Structure 1
Amino acid sequence: MSDERSEAVRLLWGPPTKPSRGPRPALDLDRIARAGIEVADAEGLAAVSMQRVAGLLGVTKMALYRYMPGKAELVAVMVETAIDEPPPGKGPRQEWRDRLGDWARHLATVFHRHPWLLDATVGPRVMGPRELGWMEQALAALDGTGLTGAERMDAVVLLAGHVRGIALQARATGPAGSPEARFAATLGQLMRTHGERYPALTAALASAARSGGQDQALEFGLHRILDGLGLLITERSD
């Protein structure tokens, strides 16, 4: 394991970190992580630096290094703090479909609250107890369904990927409107001029406008994924 990953494991999974030298500690990992989250929420992950976080905390950059080896470890601790605990279930008798639906919607809320998590949770990296708790809860929802471990893992990856895709679209459009509304508005302008070349698209946009059927991509995709899992689970039970 690389030194960077070893440090991340120590910070995320080990006992609370204390500086190896110097006066009595004035900071802790939670305060440091929340300062980094404040910067990332306001300006994005690229704006986070040891210097910026140190300034928010009123300490020197060198003082911050006594607690945090570098930006990679800082981001790891920020993720673990921002993602929070996985959503509570509604009891052991809650159906797998409802449990996974609640899980996906809570994940969408987390990405909406902290859009920079979309950048910070890609690629090979060390995950903390909370983040693994999210995975554990989604997998546990499929216990007793007859799906194999690999199928359950794939189902969770599929759900998370759908939520991430919608969250990425929402981040790209910004606060001015939903991704679907902005996309439909742009297409609508093109169809007014070129609609005769794309009759199916023109008809679909007109139907969506009449029914108010926009901003439903998260729920539509979520239900279709759960429908497919339901069919597979039925096959296993037969």
Structure 2
Amino acid sequence: MSVQPTGASCVSCASCGRTLEPADRGRPRLYCSRACQARAYRARRVEGPAEAQGSDDGATHLTVERIVRAGIVVADTEGLDALSMRRVATELGTGTMSLYRHVASKDDLVTLMVEAAMADVPLPGSPARNWRHGLERAAHRDWELYHRHPWILPRVMVTTRAYFSPALAADSESAFASFDGLDLEPADAFRYMFMFASYVQGVAVTLVSDAEAARQSKTAGPREVKAADRAQDPLYEPGAYPRLARAMRAGADPWDLDALFASGLAGVLDGIAADLARRGIEP
């Protein structure tokens, strides 16, 4: 039995856990042998400092909000496919396992990211002037959301699968409020909203696709970018496809998706207005 110096306490080897006698002078011992010291050094090189210590990096600065915001930054700049708990941990400068103390999984993280991203584009604070005004501002709110966060579109698409999201429910409730005062049957309100949302999200597919292509082109070499540009040239040349060439030169050279979106939206709303009039429903 060893006798401990007065006022001292035992410590454990940082590698194997064996009890060490505390030093009575100089720096305290961390390892029981040079072999344990070398083993710990190799672990830090392979796993990183945080993970070599069981990912207990003392990351008291972490919160759910910070993790979610870091995830949004990664998805905005690198795409949702690049998102992982490890990538978010790197963004925050912490160990991967530290994130799991706050967020259970990547799927849970993406769910929280959707909620936060939608909250960044607030719902209208006042009632719509009429049904058309209500749907117009709902459409432009969603369009702005897809511009800011292209990755969010697949997570909010119209679907027959039932799932609940507080932000999506609030967004839909606000849009449906556009029909207040028309005395519509719920099934008719749903039919109009389905047509409206399908248009907005359908055009957004093109927007998101272009945003992803632009993001990827930043990492492509000049040779790949030029090849992609040349591949588009036949669409604009008269010849085998004269109608297509004329239409593309007139309407898509250059592309102005914002203008095309607004024009198409007006057509959809005109269609709803015509159907309301046919059924004798006064706005």
* TM-score bracket for the superposition, by shorter chain length: 0.7 to 0.9
Residues of 1 paired with 2:139 and 2:153: CA distance? 15
Give 1:137 shift.
0.3
Indicate conservation of the 8 Å contact 2:151/2:208, yes or no. Answer: no
Structure number with larger C-alpha Rg: 2
- The corresponding residue for 1:173 is 210
Give 1:220 shift.
2.1
- The corresponding residue for 1:87 is 123
- The corresponding residue for 1:222 is 265
Give 1:54 shift.
1.8
- The corresponding residue for 1:51 is 86
- The corresponding residue for 1:61 is 96
Residues of 2 paired with 1:147 and 1:186: CA distance? 46
1:200-228 CA-to-partner distances (Å, cap 9, x unmatched) read x4554565489x99543211221121112
User: How many residues of Structure 1 are paired with residues of Structure 2 in the alignment?
Assistant: 205
Indicate conservation of the 8 Å contact 1:108/1:167, yes or no. Answer: yes
Q: 1:225 to 1:26 in 2, by over 3 A?
A: same
* Higher RCO (CA < 8 A, seq sep 6+): 1
> After superposition, where does 1:172-191 map in structure 2 within 5 Å?
172-174=209-211, 186=232, 189=235, 191=237
**What do you get for the CA RMSD once the two structures are aligned?**
3.2
Residues of 2 paired with 1:171 and 1:36: CA distance? 18
- What is the aligned counterpart of 1:147 among 168, 184, 191? 184
Indicate conservation of the 8 Å contact 2:76/2:151, yes or no. Answer: yes
> After superposition, where does 1:1-238 map in structure 2 within 5 Å?
26-84=61-119, 86-89=122-125, 91-92=126-127, 94-122=129-157, 124=161, 126-174=163-211, 186=232, 189=235, 191-195=237-241, 198-199=242-243, 201-202=244-245, 204-205=247-248, 208=251, 215=257, 216-234=259-277, 235-237=279-281
Residues of 1 paired with 2:202 and 2:151: CA distance? 14
Q: Which moved more, 1:124-133 or 1:74-83?
A: 124-133
1:166-225 CA-to-partner distances (Å, cap 9, x unmatched) read 22212323486xxxxxxxx94764541214xx54x4554565489x99543211221121
Give 1:104 shift.
0.2
Residues of 1 paired with 2:96 and 2:128: CA distance? 51
Give 1:108 shift.
0.5
TM-score (norm 2): 0.62
The letter of the residue matching 2:269 is: L
Residues of 1 paired with 2:95 and 2:59: CA distance? 16
Residues of 2 paired with 1:206 and 1:48: CA distance? 38
Q: 1:125 to 1:193 in 2, by over 3 A?
A: same
1:3-56 CA-to-partner distances (Å, cap 9, x unmatched) read xxxxxxxxxxxxxxxxxxxx8964322211101000000110011111111222
Q: 1:95 to 1:26 in 2, by over 3 A?
A: same
Indicate conservation of the 8 Å contact 1:45/1:120, yes or no. Answer: no
The letter of the residue matching 2:115 is: E
1:52-80 CA-to-partner distances (Å, cap 9, x unmatched) read 11222233222211111101100000000
- The corresponding residue for 1:6 is none
Q: Which has the higher helix share?
A: 1
List runs of 5+ in structure 1 lacking aligned partners: 1-22, 177-184
Equivalent position SS for 1:193 = coil
Give 1:141 shift.
0.8
